[in-house]
Amino acid sequence: MSVRKLKPITPGQRFRVVNGFDAITTDKPEKSLLAPIKKSGGRNSQGKMTMRYKGGGHKRRYRIIDFKRDKHGIPATVASIEYDPNRTAFIALLNYQDGEKRYIVAQNGLQVGQNIVSDIETAAPEIGNAMPLNTIPLGTVISCIELRPGQGAVMARSAGAFAQLVARDGKYAVIKLPSGEIRRILTTCLATIGAVSNSDHQLLVSGKAGRSRWLGRRPRTRPVVMNPVDHPMGGGEGKSSGGHPRSRKGIPAKGYRTRSKTKASNKYIVERRKK
């Protein structure tokens, strides 16, 4: 994986850094695994804007991803590594021995032609294999982790993300998450071996405001330049700072804890993430 810095033949390319796409092997997605995406532009069923700064963007089609990895014991061959416009990570097309095709989130180092399997008992801890946490060796780098058995992967799914299996305690596994939080999860939950692909995503530079519009992001107005009626930090003469940073509802933005002390999952968190 690599990035490319473009030659500044236009002002928008002067600082532009793009992905080298070395790992991508095809630009044609599997048609049977595509679905349409309807855009809301941040509007609800009444047509009222309920989410600001959304709208526009290039037309996309959704790639149906297998987050559950529930074809246990059936080996699959990696047919291609592809770009997915709906996520930061690359995706891999799998051809199963029974003829079915599925997309999964690609792990770093996954190669075309490689055989991978999802198995709850006999799978080896190799890149791309999905296994329950009770069969994965301690210290292994993992990603695409379930929070509840059978739910499907919900954690460590974005580009370059990974967690680490730290320990096992009875029916729970102790995992260090990408945020730094250390948490207990049931050992019957599945996880995939390896870190998520496209770790160079964090090095990309868009180069111009128009690229944000292509991604469906509209310009964001700073609260300090709003009027008092629009935001607690608005108003004042000239470039006044606006006091303490806070949301439109008045909730402080820095250091104020909003997590409920009685939240059911608090008992599973061994150590909170670093501030």
Q: What is the pLDDT of residue 275?
A: 67
Q: What is the mean pLDDT of the chain?
A: 95
Rounded CA gap, 138 and 176, in Å? Answer: 12
* pLDDT band at 54; cut points 50, 70, 90: very high
Q: How far is it, in rounded angstroms, from Cα 23 to Cα 151?
A: 29
pLDDT score of 237 more than 70: yes
Distance CA 25, CA 2 (A): 15
85: exposed, middle or buried (C-beta count within 10 Å: 0-12, 13-18, 19+)? middle
The yes-or-no verdict on residue 169 having pLDDT over 70 is: yes
Residues 139, 177 contacting (CB under 8 angstroms):
no
Domain map (residue ranges) of the chain: 3-202, 226-269
The answer to whether 253 touches 245, Cβ cutoff 8 Å, is: yes
Share of the chain above pLDDT 90, in %: 94
Instruction: Classify domain 226-269 at the CATH topology level.
Output: Ribosomal protein L2; domain 3 (4.10.950)
Cα–Cα dist 15/6, whole Å: 8
Average pLDDT over residues 231-249: 90
Question: Stretch 156-174: mean pLDDT, rounded?
Answer: 96
Residue with tokens 């930061």: 88
In angstroms, rounded to a whole number, what is the distance separating the alpha carbons of residues 90 and 128? 13
Whole-angstrom CA distances from 174 to 52, 124, 134, 187 are 38, 20, 11, 9
Instruction: Return the CATH number of the domain spanning residue range 3-202.
Output: 2.40.50.140
pLDDT confidence tier of residue 1, bands split at 50, 70 and 90: low
Can you tell me the distance from the alpha carbon of 24 to that of 21, in angstroms, rounded to the nearest whole number?
Answer: 5
Measured CA to CA, the distance from residue 75 to residue 117 in angstroms comes to: 5
Element (H, E) at 174: strand 172-176
Q: CA-CA distance, 245 to 251, in Å (whole number)?
A: 9
Written as six digits, the tokens of 23 are 């790992």
Over range 36-56, report the average pLDDT. Answer: 96
* Position 121 pLDDT exceeds 90: no
Question: pTM for the complete prediction?
Answer: 0.92
149 close to 133: Cβ distance less than 8 angstroms: no
What pLDDT, in 10s, does the model give residues 125-151? 999 999 999 999 999 999 999 999 999
Residue with tokens 């964001």: 220
Predicted local distance difference test score (pLDDT) of residue 242: 78
Evaluate if residue 267 carries a pLDDT over 80: yes
Query: Could you tell me the CA-to-CA distances from 193 to 34, 75, 197, 251 in Å, in that order?
Result: 26, 15, 12, 39
